[in-house]
Amino acid sequence: MTQLLLQSSLFEIPPPTVAGLTYIPDYIDAATESTLIDTIDAQPWITELKRRVQHYGWRYDYKARSITNDLRIGSLPDWLQNYAAVLQQAGYFSETPDQVIINEYQPGQGISAHIDCVPCFTDTIANMSLGSPCVMDFTNSKTCEKSSLPLEPRSLLVLSGDARYVWQHAIAQRKADKKNGQIMPRTRRISLTFRKIKAE
Chain positions contacting ligand AKG, by CB under 6 A = 101, 103, 111, 116, 127, 169, 191, 193
Identity of the amino acid at 5: L
Nearest Cα neighbor of 152 from 20, 25, 1 is 25
Distance, CA of 135 to CA of 77 (rounded, Å): 29
Residues 6 or more apart whose Cβ sits within 8 Å of residue 177 = 133, 134, 135, 150, 183, 184, 186
**CB of residue 189 to ligand AKG, shortest distance in Å:** 7
Nearer to ligand AKG, 103 or 160 (CB): 103
- Which residue number has the CB closest to ligand AKG? 191
Nearer to ligand AKG, 88 or 102 (CB): 102
CA atoms within 13 A on the CB side of 157: 26
**CB of residue 14 to ligand AKG, shortest distance in Å:** 23
Nearer to ligand AKG, 85 or 117 (CB): 117
**CB of residue 101 to ligand AKG, shortest distance in Å:** 5
Nearer to ligand AKG, 124 or 193 (CB): 193
**CB of residue 99 to ligand AKG, shortest distance in Å:** 11
β-pairing verdict for 146-151 and 134-140 = antiparallel
DSSP annotation of 15: P
Residues 6 or more apart whose Cβ sits within 8 Å of residue 63 = none
Nearer to ligand AKG, 88 or 169 (CB): 169
**CB of residue 77 to ligand AKG, shortest distance in Å:** 18
